[in-house]
């Protein structure tokens, strides 16, 4: 009798354990994904090995592409920093709300940056219980109401302006009251939330360290991390540790640039390791991309693309783009349809069951990646450079580029098949019907957009003349 009772007790214990295990697994299965966006600055299309780089080994960044999806037609919405970032963090074209210029450092001006009427990914994920952190480069406004902690983020570690120096000994300004020019802001001490800190590490390494700490501290609940490295944006500065990885390369900007990318790759490796250590890597979406194309010059490699940062050609907008989420994306996926940075917000909203207050322009890509949907996520994609009087639209494989010829005072229109001719070398002679279709597509898009609402970086001198109190601000 005792043996029978013992057996029954053992079975009950085993059943209880199995039930608890199943409940744990079910809970894990239903948990919303963590989301990490790794955004780099001015990275050349050909400067990661998953896009063919021979100069710069990027094994950790490559893991995102190889263990998930690589996008061969991955775009951003603008070919310089600020507007591109605005669209990424809102999931909406920056031209809808006037953020179509690179914001100036003007901490007294609430219009200089991302419109306060817009909601960020951190905002709508926060409503669903996510914790969010922004790291590195902000460049969406220096006014106190435009800073990360006012835009949905629970934590911030980085700097507010469009660039920064990399070595701690260069951070000689203790607060923004000491900033007297656009470039001065590159020398401010870093901010942790709203407090200046005495950071001792090389900037890229410091951002990677803080990213790991955030993951470790928030692994039990869903989180969103916006890890915006400013590397390899100028000034070109790298520690000896990273320079020594390129012993056969001649000293100069290219070598330093390569070292800076290698530092980012190390940081990505640390982030991926932290996810695995916390046992959350299977349910974490990690996205890697650049904010725009590589800067013009010999320091970057744009691969087969025509153009560079600031250009209206593919080299301005088509960027290294990869996405890893083991739970949803099959390893080794190569996706060839056009996608865009705004799609990140749409994926986040869908899987967090969030409802953004504004209609997103992005599309949830996951059904296209796993075969649930066919076709192309975007009927067309459009770009506009308002001040340069240039614009472009891609529909299917065809792309129209319109540039203003200042000498002739007229527009120059050209057409390309960017699937067959990624380098945009061969101009097409399209039928009138095809030309009109692309022109109509752009006009339909343009009718929904507005003009820029603030003066931009290229208007630095004019803005200062108009705003004599530009740098007169309180200490913070």
* Catalytic residue set: 81, 139
DSSP 406-457: TTTTEEEEEEEETTT-TT--S-----HHHHHHHHHHHHHHHTT----SS-BG
- What CA–CA distance (Å, rounded) separates 87 from 74? 14
277, 312 contact by CB (below 8 A): no
Burial 183-218 (b: 16+ CB within 10 A, else e): ebbbebbbbeeeebeebeebbbbbbbbbbbebbeeb
Give the C-alpha separation, 360 to 91, whole Å.
Answer: 5
Length of the chain: 476
CA–CA dist 114, 107 (Å, integer): 13
DSSP 250-309: PSSHHHHHHHHHHHHHHHHHHHHHHHHHTT-GGGEEEEEEESSPPPSSTTS--TT-S--T
Short-list 319, 331, 321, 320, CA closest to 281: 331
325, 286 contact by CB (below 8 A): yes
**Residue 341 and residue 364: Cα distance in Å, rounded?**
11
């Amino acid at each position: 009798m005792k043996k029978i009772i013992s057996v029954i007790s053992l079975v009950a214990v085993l059943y209880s354990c199995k039930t608890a295990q199943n409940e744990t697994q079910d809970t894990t299965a239903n948990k919303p994904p963590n989301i990490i966006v790794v955004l780099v600055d001015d990275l050349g299309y050909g400067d990661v090995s998953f896009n063919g780089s021979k100069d710069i080994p990027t094994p950790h960044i490559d893991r995102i592409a190889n263990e998930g999806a690589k996008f061969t037609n991955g775009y951003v919405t603008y070919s310089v920093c600020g507007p591109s970032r605005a669209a990424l963090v809102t999931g909406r074209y920056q031209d809808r709300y006037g953020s179509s210029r690179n914001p100036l450092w003007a901490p007294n001006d609430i219009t200089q940056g991302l419109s306060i009427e817009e909601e960020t990914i951190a905002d709508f994920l926060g409503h669903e219980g996510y914790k969010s952190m922004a790291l590195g480069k902000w460049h969406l406004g220096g006014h106190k109401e435009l800073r990360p902690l006012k835009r949905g983020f629970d934590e911030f570690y980085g700097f507010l302006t469009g660039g920064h120096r990399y070595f701690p000994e260069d951070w000689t300004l203790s607060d923004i009251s000491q900033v007297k020019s656009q470039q001065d802001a590159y020398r401010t001490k870093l901010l942790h939330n709203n407090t200046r800190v005495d950071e001792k590490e090389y900037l890229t390494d410091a951002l990677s360290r803080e990213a790991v700490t955030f993951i470790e501290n928030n692994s039990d609940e869903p989180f969103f991390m916006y890890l915006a490295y400013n590397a390899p944006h100028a000034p070109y500065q790298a520690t000896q540790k990273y320079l020594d990885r390129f012993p056969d390369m001649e000293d100069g900007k290219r070598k330093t640039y390569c070292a800076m990318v290698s530092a980012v790759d190390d940081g990505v490796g640390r982030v991926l390791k932290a996810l695995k250590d916390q046992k959350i890597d299977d349910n974490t979406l990690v996205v890697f991309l650049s904010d725009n194309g590589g800067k013009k010059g010999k320091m970057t490699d744009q691969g087969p693309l025509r153009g560079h940062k600031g250009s209206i050609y593919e080299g301005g907008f088509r960027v290294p783009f990869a996405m890893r989420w083991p739970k949803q994306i099959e390893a080794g996926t190569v996706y060839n349809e056009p996608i865009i940075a705004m799609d990140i917000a749409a994926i986040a909203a869908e899987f967090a069951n969030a409802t953004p207050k504004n209609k997103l322009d992005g599309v949830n890509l996951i059904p296209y990646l796993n075969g649930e949907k066919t076709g192309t996520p975007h009927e067309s994609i459009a770009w506009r450079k308002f001040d340069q009087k240039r614009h472009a639209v891609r529909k299917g494989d065809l792309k129209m580029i319109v540039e203003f010829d200042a000498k002739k005072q007229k527009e120059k229109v050209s057409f390309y098949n960017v699937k067959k001719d990624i380098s945009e070398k061969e101009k097409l002679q399209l039928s009138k019907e095809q030309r009109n279709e692309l022109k109509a597509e752009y006009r339909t898009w343009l009718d929904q957009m507005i003009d820029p609402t603030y003066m931009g970086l290229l208007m630095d001198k004019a803005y200062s003349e108009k705003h004599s109190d530009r740098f007169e601000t309180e200490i913070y």
